[in-house]
Amino acid sequence: MSQLNIRAGRKAGVFLGIIAMLFAILSAGAPAKAADDPSTYAYTIAGTLLNNDKPLADVTVTAQLDAFKASAKSDSSGAWTIMVPKPGIYNVSIDKATLPAGVSFTKADGDKMQADLSQTDFAAVLFSFGKSTVVEQSFSDQLLVRVWAGLNFGLLLAMAAIGISLIFGTTGLNNFAHGEMVTSGALFIWLFHIVLNLNILLSAVIAVALTTLFGWVQDAGLWKPLRKRRMGLNQMMIVSIGFSIVARYILLLFFGGDTKDIGGGGNIIKLGPIFTSDIALISLVICVLSLAGVALFLTRTRLGKATRAVSDNPSLAAATGIDVERIIRIVWIVASALTGLAGVLYGLQFQATWLTGFDILLLLFASVTLGGLGTALGATVGALIIGMIVEVSSLFIANELKYAAALVILIIILIVRPQGVLGKKQRIG
């Protein structure tokens, strides 16, 4: 999400310089942690010093945290890098004496900046020189940017949330292992597109197919036998928690714990005040088409109607000649295909780790619960609300609290309307 968070007026050259540096550092490989040898430090602070697009060479930059202090000089392109040993918020400052004559900071205290390495292992620090060229975006523009990002994120959530909702509707299972299907979609496209270098469309198809297979095997091998044993739903929910741990750590063992960049953020496109990327636009279209497809499937086709009948009352559906197990199998296949596709699109737009799906699992549950458990339309509405809350809230509160905001809103809505926005009363005890 942060790639899109560009302030208008920031010098594009500076931005590209940072990106180039980021890639240079990433491709050099993260050094292993070791004792006090600076070359083995795992955390990086870097930046490029540019004054009106002209690089400033031989300027000393210093990073400091508690007792630790390290300095670096900018090279002929103005770039500088400081390796530091541990996470934290570093004070980064410029030695004014080493600046060329006539160069001044935009703000009076512009020689002191902070680098936040508490969440990541790389931080870019931008010192700005000369007269201010940064124009603050107006609030309405910022809101528009956030709403756009929220729509995009909400639609991605909706794809996966409909999967949860369909499975819950037909089998009553709250599947905590659903996040791992998102993860496998994202990691499989990384495997086929980046590692095996296949065409992106082909990789996406394979990734969705493999995730679908994962869902089908999961149902046939685990959930169907448990349904046959007439296991209680809460018991099955705890089994799904165990299964999600197993699946997550298997993914970790196979794919490793590092963050995988798949789409590289795509090419940036400007729509009015909104910066977006081609990947985000394509993803949006795919989401809308898939969601429309699911809606048509559920309302217009015989299978879809049978699915809704099973959701409403399995015994009655069976009595009218519907093969309930077959419907459940189809629902699992549709749900895992949608979820895998959501994972693929998520991985392309943002990044993927073994925890990707688990991180958004609670947002998915929040979407499904908000909309009213067990209704596909409700899940879509809930997901859009959650996506909006997550993105728009970051205008008012710290970015790192945006997921917390969504979860708190979930709790508040449950107080006011326990059955969710579109749910039926029977869900509450």
Using CB under 8 A as the binding rule, whether residue 400 contacts other proteins is answered as yes
Choices 146-154, 306-314, 333-341, 393-401 (CB under 8 A): range interacting with other proteins:
393-401
Q: Which of 27, 32, 415, 425 binds other proteins (CB under 8 A)?
A: 415
| Contact between residue 183 and residue 249 where contact means Cβ atoms under 8 Å apart | no
Q: How far is the CB of 231 from other proteins (least distance, A)?
A: 7
Using CB under 8 A as the binding rule, whether residue 108 contacts other proteins is answered as no
Using CB under 8 A as the binding rule, whether residue 237 contacts other proteins is answered as yes
Q: Which of 199, 234, 299, 313 binds other proteins (CB under 8 A)?
A: 234
Using CB under 8 A as the binding rule, whether residue 289 contacts other proteins is answered as no
Q: Which amino acid is at 365?
A: F
Q: How far apart are CA 343 and CA 150, in angstroms?
A: 17
Q: Which of 27, 76, 119, 140 binds other proteins (CB under 8 A)?
A: 119
Using CB under 8 A as the binding rule, whether residue 157 contacts other proteins is answered as no
Q: How far is the CB of 85 from other proteins (least distance, A)?
A: 14
Helices 356-371 and 233-255 meet at what angle, rounded to 10? Answer: 150
Using CB under 8 A as the binding rule, whether residue 242 contacts other proteins is answered as yes
Using CB under 8 A as the binding rule, whether residue 42 contacts other proteins is answered as no
Q: Which of 18, 57, 245, 421 binds other proteins (CB under 8 A)?
A: 245
| Contact between residue 2 and residue 22 where contact means Cβ atoms under 8 Å apart | no
Range 128-147, binding other proteins (CB under 8 A): none
Q: How far is the CB of 235 from other proteins (least distance, A)?
A: 4
For residue 250, how many other CB atoms are within 10 A of its CB? 13
Q: How far is the CB of 356 from other proteins (least distance, A)?
A: 15
Using CB under 8 A as the binding rule, whether residue 6 contacts other proteins is answered as no
Q: What DSSP designation does 62 have? A: E
Using CB under 8 A as the binding rule, whether residue 253 contacts other proteins is answered as yes
SS3 91: strand
Range 316-375, binding other proteins (CB under 8 A): 358, 362, 365-366, 369, 373
Q: What DSSP designation does 273 have? A: T
Q: How far apart are CA 127 and CA 286, in angstroms?
A: 40
Q: How far is the CB of 396 from other proteins (least distance, A)?
A: 12
Using CB under 8 A as the binding rule, whether residue 411 contacts other proteins is answered as yes
Token pair for residue 194?
Answer: 């980046």
Q: How far apart are CA 394 and CA 376, in angstroms?
A: 28
How do beta strands 60-65 and 68-73 pair?
Answer: antiparallel
Q: How far apart are CA 134 and CA 96, in angstroms?
A: 22
Select 45 or 50, whichever has its Cβ closest to other proteins: 45
By CB under 8 A, how many residues form the interface with other proteins? 49
Q: How far is the CB of 237 from other proteins (least distance, A)?
A: 6
Q: Which residues contact 128 (CB under 8 A, 6 or more apart)?
A: 105, 106, 107, 110, 134
- Compute the C-alpha angle 49/50/55, nearest 5°: 90
Q: Which amino acid is at 235?
A: Q
Token pair for residue 239?
Answer: 């089994």
Using CB under 8 A as the binding rule, whether residue 395 contacts other proteins is answered as no
Its sign, for the CA torsion 354, 360, 362, 364, is: negative
- H or E stretch covering 79: strand 79-84
Terminal Cα-to-Cα distance of the chain (whole angstroms): 39
| Contact between residue 307 and residue 331 where contact means Cβ atoms under 8 Å apart | yes
Choices 115-123, 144-152, 260-268, 385-393 (CB under 8 A): range interacting with other proteins:
115-123
Select 24 or 246, whichever has its Cβ closest to other proteins: 246
Select 118 or 138, whichever has its Cβ closest to other proteins: 118
Token pair for residue 320?
Answer: 């009218």
Q: How far is the CB of 420 from other proteins (least distance, A)?
A: 10
Tell which phi-psi region holds residue 370, choosing left (phi > 0), alpha (psi between -120 and 50) or beta.
Answer: alpha
- H or E stretch covering 72: strand 68-73
Q: Fill in the per-residue mask, 82 to 101: x = in contact with other proteins (CB under 8 A), - = not in contact.
A: -----xxx------------
| Contact between residue 413 and residue 362 where contact means Cβ atoms under 8 Å apart | no
Q: Which of 214, 243, 255, 346 binds other proteins (CB under 8 A)?
A: 243
Select 73 or 427, whichever has its Cβ closest to other proteins: 427
Choices 270-278, 280-288, 311-319, 401-409 (CB under 8 A): range interacting with other proteins:
401-409
Residues that bind other proteins (CB under 8 A): 87-89, 116, 118-119, 174, 226, 231-235, 237-239, 241-250, 252-253, 358, 362, 365-366, 369, 373, 398, 400-401, 403-404, 407-408, 410-411, 414-415, 418, 427-429
